[in-house]
Amino acid sequence: MPETETIVVIGAGVIGLTTALRLQQSLPKSTNKSVLLVARDWPTTTSLNYASPWAGAHYRPVPGTTPQSLREESQAQATYAYFKIASQDPASGIAKVEGIEHLENPPAEYRDQKAIETYYGHLDGFRFLEKSELPEGVVWGVRYETFVVNSPVYLAYLLRRFILLGGRTREYTLADPREAFYLGENVRTVVNCSGVGFGDEKSFIIRGQTCLVRNPTTTTLTRQNTDGTWSFSIPRPLDGGTIIGGTKGPHDWDPNPSLAVRETLLRNAKKWFPFTEENGGEFDVVRDIVGRRPAREGGMRIEVEHVDVGGPGRAEKGRRIVHGYGAAGRGYELSWGVAGDVVSLVLEGGEEVKEKAKL
C-alpha cells in the first residue's frame, strides 16, 4: 500500500482557502494524499495584514495588453464561471447584481474594441451605455451582470466546505515555507499561498482604505475620475451593508484610518452612487476599514521551486514548493482561476503556469 502523503497549503486568505478547497476536490477518493491547511490568520481573525476579510469584494474586469494582464483575464473568467454556480447557494455570501462602470477619462485600453471584447465579452448582459444614459462628465460607460461577495461569509463558507471534504487545519505561524514540510506526515509538496511570500524582494503591500455603511444598494458601481482616481460602491450580500471605496497606497504602512479620506469617499458616493432614501440622504457609518493588499512586481508568482530540507548531513531531496501569491487587490476576482493553475502544478507535475489568455 502506498505511503500516506500530506500536501500542506500555507495561508487562509481567499487564494489559500480556494486553492485548498479546489485541491481537496481534485483528489480521488481512493488517494493516499490528504490536504493540511496551515495559517496564522483565519476567517475569524481581525488583522490589517490579513487582507481577505476586509475586501469589498466584487467582480470587475481590468483591461490590459501585457502578458500578465492576459493571464489574469484567463484566471478571472474561470472565477466568474465559478461565482455563477456558487451564488446559487445563499450560504456562500455571493450574489448576482448589476455592475455599472462610469469613466471620465478612459485609458487607451478601454478604447480598444478588441481589448473590450477580450475582457468583457464573457459577461452576461454586457452592453455599452448610450450617451443619454451617461451622467455629466462621463464619456465611457458599460453595464453587465456581475457578482458581489460578503467576504467574511464567503471565507467561512470555503473553510467549511474544505473541512467537510476531509481537509485538516492547523493554526501555526511559519518563519519559512520549508518549515511546513515538518507539519504533516510525509510532506513532499507545500503550496505557498501566503500573500506576500516569505522575504520575496518583489513583494510589497498596497494600503487601502474604504468605509462600510449600513445604507443598502442593489448595484455595484465603479467610477473613474478625471484625475485618474477610482471610486466604487459594493453591496455586501446577506444584509452586510455597502463598501464605499477606495484608496491605493503602495508601500504605505500607516495602520490608522483617515477621517479626511472617509469624508472624501462619502462625499463622492453621495454624488455618484445609487442609494435609497430611507436614511435621509446621509450615510450610517459602521466603520472605517484599512487593509494591506499583498502585491508583487510583475504579478503573481505561480511556479514550482524545488528545495532540499533538513540541515547538513540530513538533507532530503525531492521536495517542492508550489507558489501562488501576490494577487494585490484582485484576490477574489482571480481566486478560482489561480487555484486551478496552482492545483494543476501540484497534481500534474508542471513547473510554471504560462502567460496565456483564454478568449
> Measured between alpha carbons, how far is residue 220 from residues 58, 196, 234, 235 in Å?
8, 28, 5, 6
Write down the pLDDT at residue 356: 38
- Supply the mean pLDDT for the chain: 92
Write down the pLDDT at residue 91: 96
Residue-wise pLDDT tens digits, 137-154: 999 999 999 999 999 999
- Say whether 70 sits in a helix, a strand or coil: helix
Write down the pLDDT at residue 46: 84
Residue-wise pLDDT tens digits, 280-315: 778 999 999 999 999 999 999 999 999 988 766 555
Residue-wise pLDDT tens digits, 181-217: 999 999 999 999 999 999 999 999 999 999 999 999 9
How far apart CA 252 and CA 23 sit, in angstroms, is 34
How far apart CA 283 and CA 207 sit, in angstroms, is 24
Residue 316: pLDDT band (50, 70, 90) is low
